[in-house]
Amino acid sequence: MRIPAEVAERRVGHAHFWERAAAAGVTRGQFLRRGAATAGGLAGLSLLRGVPAFATSSDPNPIAPNPNLGGLRLWPPGRGNEPITITDFNGSSGVTEIAGTGTGGGQTWNFDVDMRFMKGVYRGMDGRIHQGAFAFV
């Protein structure tokens, strides 16, 4: 995702990812269709959708829908919020939202990223306990 510096607001205090998504009037259906583009590193778009691609796979199940985000199966980064996107999980996890700048094509660009990881044991769609690591990018 690239946001030209000249059209983005100041980096400090600018709208964060989920605020921009809401401001863009993005519907849940639109998010689900294009979620893979934005959440490219998520362990399967089906986690956001909540629809098992393969009911017998070892893939993890998504968390329950978040009513505050139109039923999406994630919570924004923040104290007190569920930090991960899979359920039946026991392990290490991390969540962060970072803003900064970078360069490309001779210009300066702003970025705002939501990054998460999950590493531990989980119950898969097949009902069995597995060990694995996943990322939300």
Q: How far is CA 79 from CA 84, 96, 125, in A?
A: 13, 11, 29
136 token code pair:
């939300």
Which is closer to another protein, CB of 33 or CB of 51? 33
What character string, x for contact with another protein (CB under 8 A) and - otherwise, covers 1-40? Answer: xxx-------xx---xx--xx--x-x---xx-xxxxxx-x
C-alpha span between 7 and 63 (Å, rounded): 35
CB within 8 Å of 97: residues ≥ 6 apart? 16, 17, 76, 77, 112, 113, 114, 115
Taking CB under 8 A as the rule, does residue 63 contact another protein?
A: yes
128, amino acid identity: R
DSSP 65-97: PBGGGTTBS---SSTTS---SBSSEEEEEEEEE
**Least distance from another protein to the Cβ atom of residue 87, Å:** 4
Query: Would you say 56 or 81 has its CB closer to another protein?
Result: 81
102 is an interface residue for another protein by CB under 8 A: yes
Q: Which of 44, 48, 59, 61 binds another protein (CB under 8 A)?
A: 61
Among 70, 99, 126, 130, binds another protein (CB under 8 A): 99
Give the footprint of another protein on this chain (CB under 8 A).
Answer: 1-3, 11-12, 16-17, 20-21, 24, 26, 30-31, 33-38, 40-41, 61, 63-64, 75, 77-80, 82-84, 87-105, 109, 111-113, 115, 117-118, 120, 123, 137
